[in-house]
Structure 1
């Protein structure tokens, strides 16, 4: 018996050790609080303007919940209860995630910053605690952008479901923005041998690109776009780095982390500007076999974006306040169409215009939407966790029942203690 118990205990211990090691190998490892985190927190505190605009802690995360640790109002939270509509919406816009979708990333993109009112963004070098990418010698910087308020007004009324998004994140961003700002060019993709790559044979649509040694010619993407436009690369199933060949020394490096089919996909990355010739060439440095999807490159016309932002600011809310779970906005007189709050429409949001009664919020491509008829200049949206009222009522009834049960039990015991003991009887002896 002792031998059997010892064998079972040893097998259980060994299995637990192996399982723990394998699980930790798939998990991200972050450094404890230090100078890097303090620099991020100081930079965010200096430019924080909530709720006039959001401040994003940046693409290079410190932990899985950066806004909780270093401040700001970004999307990069880790939760096993991440809402489906938030995950679907951000993924459709070109965002990435880790931990099998539980941890959304920061999407460093000018259009989505305008959509979600991100007026300040922190940029940090690669985390030295990690071994994903080498240091680039840069420091913590902050970029500012002119963005619309948290509540905007769209001319087309009606409710749209998140499934209205298409396969291109660039066109999806334009749908939410309400303006055409991207050129999505035809691509020519070549392997390190200069040949057209083969199509992916799994569930990832696109062209397969394999990892190559540094000394070998790199795979590339070529395309034609308007000169001066900003180049973005969307490759959720590509792992490695990407740079514009026209400006490899000073242009930004796109860093992609993907490990299909395990835990993560990569967000869209900005690579710089199209040269005067209008011809762009992106050099890829994959660290594993990945996929370049059709329509991977988008060229942003910043002038058109500026015009679209100006229109949304002119027609959007004139004042926005946020307290606890309530958003209040003052709208221009005569506003019609749909008021859109730059927040995911998860269950529990109820909205009202003017003095009307609150009703469940509508949905505009995944965001909170409220129809406007031109008669109200105020909007109030309040979030109550689904089931809170029912759960509170059930809890109150249960508590009342428990109190009554305790009272009845105490009364019975007191009555029993006050009654005289029954007389003792004896049987006559034989």
Structure 2
């Protein structure tokens, strides 16, 4: 490539990136979105997961985090972290957080997404030139439309790591182009590994798309001399690249296998007219639909392609057929599952929609490279008008769509016609190109603006408070009370976001992730802690017994009237993080069928009294009835007589309600609680009912619109003095000192301790424990907590966590790396020999190789 051509290619890529990023920024600024205005952008998972995760990454790098890449001590009382890192933080731009203070972590997350958009636009601009040569400046306009496609500004806007897939797709298509040309095998493998390491979820979708594009290009080329070798080369490139990223896949697969299963999702086929409406820019549907719009320029060119005879019929059929097949695959459940790794996504069912946007962009370039004339543009304009008319009544079409059609659409058609007429004349072509660029910028900015405005109208997408004065004050309070690993400082039950322990620090029970271990979720719920999202969002404890059990010495409680919204409270005596239990209470020897009994067992004392409920009966009052599952509570709205259960407890004790699935209101004197339980989906934590009065009697009244079932022992009464005594005794018999490393915890025990050492950590696969320096054995479970048998006597116990799947993943990566080194070395040794044997010099060899490629003949050459 000549220097001038190389400069034009670089300039085109830069133009695409600048246009895409400028459009996104203008759209955000127009609506006052951070960092251009006061409106927060931390909606949905961006606020609940990704801002806290990036803050935790900042902490880890600066030595202020709890744990390391293997283990997260902050959340869920100690949970695996490597799968979270690979899934949410492995994309290259996540490391921008290191360039900013922690209090400004929202800014590098925004910049990371913005740079991904720019990179995607630039890479698509370069790849379009591989499909067909043509002006890089015109390609840049389509690349910019792809960079700010509807998927990027809507579905992916709250998931910065997904936008990496937008950049990975043209990069993987470029790798497949090298396979088609039999070039750069090793480089291609490394780029595939980079794409999959950055975000394997969207990279898998992009890889499938790249394979489809390769097949379509082979079809367009007619009879290929060696299609099998091309496919084998492409397949080997993908396999070797994926093998290099094997630790990502195997660790995340193991974590997903051991995780709490998600709520089963029902698939609803998309309405075809709602789907077609998403071809139009600047719209947003209230339903789950594929967001595929690529801007008005790409849409007009795509609709003009069927009428453009300058494009060979085979090429037109290949592109339009491929687009139709991929679009149809989004409307059939088996292929939707195929696109999403055989699992129906929670939320949008069309996370792979950017694949269709990419194919539409490639087809649009096939038209733009030939400069469509009046007749094709007329045909495309008619189709655009028909599309607008048949989708006009769909909820995804808004006034912004009509503005885009009237202003940008008509202007684009006129500019394309002028571009055709100006062909061969330099200055008019430049003037028309500048007008087209302005239209692309205007249309893309309008689409980005419309997406944010329309999304903000949905209450579900209200932004979360992440980094502000309140959260900073909460972080200061939590860290000031931090005594880790002597005890834990919990950031809940007050809540800024679903992952507060990562956002503001401490070592709490809250944790929100797709990788919440099933063992952790089940154990914490059995102890009376709550959850949302079918157990994928765990909550901090709300009772003093759980806090003592997990060594919590302070916590943040909600206090709405206060300026900061929270108040920090100190707990009573808490157990150490490692306790010793007698050998006769081995797992399974005692059974606890409710949270109160289980806490008594683990605290080694009867701190909870579990009274037998007595149904309250009276004239016109429906009484709860005992059945095999517990207590059946009849429906009773607030304005009717309401059922109640009466219990007797020690005066002065603290009463708590265990009603994990109850949805309704609970009343006791001076206390009114609204519960929103839903079986398996939402589990209520133990709810405080207040202090038992001097009479020792307490009546709990239930009000619900539907009949529901309570556990057999729905009320427990906690004795503060018994809890303090139990915690003190556990400190006497438990660990003398506790030391916590990045993914280890060790304890020095009283001399000749025997029985079972129990850690205040949930037992999940990957833990191994050693007693007195002996060989490490897999950690065992003691009623859901990590345990290690001590034998007849021990003075030290230590447990270490190693992520399941990491060892085989590293072995696969090492094997793949060895293959790449061997191939690379062999090729370097082969090149001089080949040159000496043929007596040709390098320039002549390159010229002959190019000529042979153009004629359909390929030299036998090294696969580099």
TM over 0.5: yes
Contact kept in structure 1, 2:636 and 2:642, CA below 8 Å: no
Contact kept in structure 2, 1:93 and 1:170, CA below 8 Å: yes
Structure 1 pair 287–60 and aligned structure 2 pair: CA distance change class (3 A): farther
Deviation of 1:291 after TM superposition, in Å, equals: 3.6
Deviation of 1:302 after TM superposition, in Å, equals: 2.3
Structure 1 pair 328–68 and aligned structure 2 pair: CA distance change class (3 A): same
Match of 2:514 in 1: 80
2:617 & 2:632 partners in 1: Cα distance? Answer: 10
1:10 is aligned to 2:443: no
CA RMSD for the aligned pairs?
3.3
Q: Please give the residue correspondences for 1:259-338 in structure 2 after superposition, counting only pairs within 5 Å.
A: 259-260=678-679, 263-286=681-704, 290-338=708-756
Deviation of 1:89 after TM superposition, in Å, equals: 0.8
Q: Please give the residue correspondences for 1:20-419 in structure 2 after superposition, counting only pairs within 5 Å.
A: 23=347, 31-33=464-466, 34-125=468-559, 139-156=566-583, 159-160=586-587, 165-189=591-615, 193-197=620-624, 205-210=630-635, 212-213=637-638, 216=640, 218-245=642-669, 248=670, 253-260=672-679, 263-286=681-704, 290-419=708-837
What TM-score, normalized by structure 1, do the two folds share?
0.82
Match of 2:861 in 1: none
Match of 2:295 in 1: none
Structure 1 pair 160–27 and aligned structure 2 pair: CA distance change class (3 A): farther
Single out whichever of 286-295 and 387-396 deviates more from structure 2.
286-295
Contact kept in structure 1, 2:633 and 2:643, CA below 8 Å: no
| SS of aligned partner of 1:335 | strand
2:460 & 2:713 partners in 1: Cα distance? Answer: 31
Deviation of 1:398 after TM superposition, in Å, equals: 1.3
| SS of aligned partner of 2:727 | helix
Contact kept in structure 2, 1:241 and 1:255, CA below 8 Å: yes
Deviation of 1:29 after TM superposition, in Å, equals: 5.9
2:528 & 2:676 partners in 1: Cα distance? Answer: 14
Contact kept in structure 2, 1:321 and 1:327, CA below 8 Å: yes
| SS of aligned partner of 1:95 | coil
Structure 1 pair 212–421 and aligned structure 2 pair: CA distance change class (3 A): same
1:196 & 1:383 partners in 2: Cα distance? Answer: 51
1:70 & 1:220 partners in 2: Cα distance? Answer: 40
2:602 & 2:550 partners in 1: Cα distance? Answer: 10
What TM-score, normalized by structure 2, do the two folds share?
0.43
Contact kept in structure 2, 1:239 and 1:257, CA below 8 Å: yes
1:145 & 1:29 partners in 2: Cα distance? Answer: 37
Pick the structure with greater CA Rg.
2
Structure 1 pair 264–61 and aligned structure 2 pair: CA distance change class (3 A): same
1:198 & 1:148 partners in 2: Cα distance? Answer: 38
Structure 1 pair 374–7 and aligned structure 2 pair: CA distance change class (3 A): closer
Deviation of 1:330 after TM superposition, in Å, equals: 1.0
Deviation of 1:178 after TM superposition, in Å, equals: 1.9
1:43-81 CA-partner distances (Å, limit 9, x unpaired): 212211111101111223221111001211112101111
1:241 & 1:139 partners in 2: Cα distance? Answer: 24
Contact kept in structure 1, 2:623 and 2:634, CA below 8 Å: no
Contact kept in structure 2, 1:238 and 1:289, CA below 8 Å: no
| SS of aligned partner of 1:94 | coil
Contact kept in structure 2, 1:329 and 1:379, CA below 8 Å: yes
Match of 2:335 in 1: none
Aligned pair count reads 399
Structure 1 pair 228–8 and aligned structure 2 pair: CA distance change class (3 A): closer
1:8 & 1:35 partners in 2: Cα distance? Answer: 42
Unaligned 5+ segments in structure 2 are 1-271, 290-345, 349-457, 841-864
Match of 1:19 in 2: 288
Single out whichever of 285-294 and 79-88 deviates more from structure 2.
285-294
Structure 1 pair 335–27 and aligned structure 2 pair: CA distance change class (3 A): farther
Which structure is higher in helix share?
2
Deviation of 1:314 after TM superposition, in Å, equals: 0.2
2:461 & 2:712 partners in 1: Cα distance? Answer: 30
Unaligned 5+ segments in structure 1 are 1-5, 129-134, 423-430
Structure 1 pair 345–323 and aligned structure 2 pair: CA distance change class (3 A): same
Deviation of 1:332 after TM superposition, in Å, equals: 1.0
Structure 1 pair 151–29 and aligned structure 2 pair: CA distance change class (3 A): farther
